[in-house]
Amino acid sequence: MLPEAKNKLKTHNEILEHQAVETLGIQPNHRILEVGFGPGVGLAAALRRVKEGSGKVYGVDISSIVLSLTNQAFATEIKSGKLEIVQADVINLPYGKNFFDGIFHTNCYYFWPDIPLAIRELNRVLKPGVSW
C-alpha cells in the first residue's frame, strides 16, 4: 500500500473509532467492549470516558500479535484494572449474559467467521434494552 493511502486509511479509521465511542454515550460507570481493537485507538477513547468512575473497558481481538502489542502499549491501564484485553473470537466471547453497557467495533466485521452468530453472541453479552 502506498504511504499516502496508508495514512489516509489510518486517519479515517481513527475518526471512525472516535465516532463509535461518541455514539455509545459512555458513562463513567459503564462496562464497554471493543471487538477487534487493533492498535487501541478505540480502547483509548473509551478509557477516557470511564477513568473517573467505576467503569471498565474490555477488548477482544483474534490476533495474538495485536494482543501482545496492546498489552505493552496499555500496561498502565491494564495494571490499574481499568482495561482488560483478551484473545477471543467474536462468536465465543468469554463473558456472561447481560454483562456490557455498550459494545462497539470498527472495520472488523468482515473478519467474523459467521456474522449472524456473532451478532447473537454480542447481543447475549449486552444488557437488555441497549443497542450497539
Please tell me the predicted confidence (pLDDT) of residue 107: 85
pLDDT single digits (tens) 51-90: 999 999 999 999 999 999 999 999 999 999 999 999 999 9
Global pTM value: 0.90
Provide, rounded to the nearest whole percent, the portion of the chain with pLDDT above 70.
Answer: 91
Domain 26-125 classification at class level: alpha beta
Domain residue ranges in the chain: 26-125
DSSP designation for 128: T
Q: Which three cell numbers stand for residue 84?
A: 482488560
Q: What mean pLDDT is predicted for residues 85-104?
A: 97
pLDDT single digits (tens) 17-33: 888 899 999 999 999 99
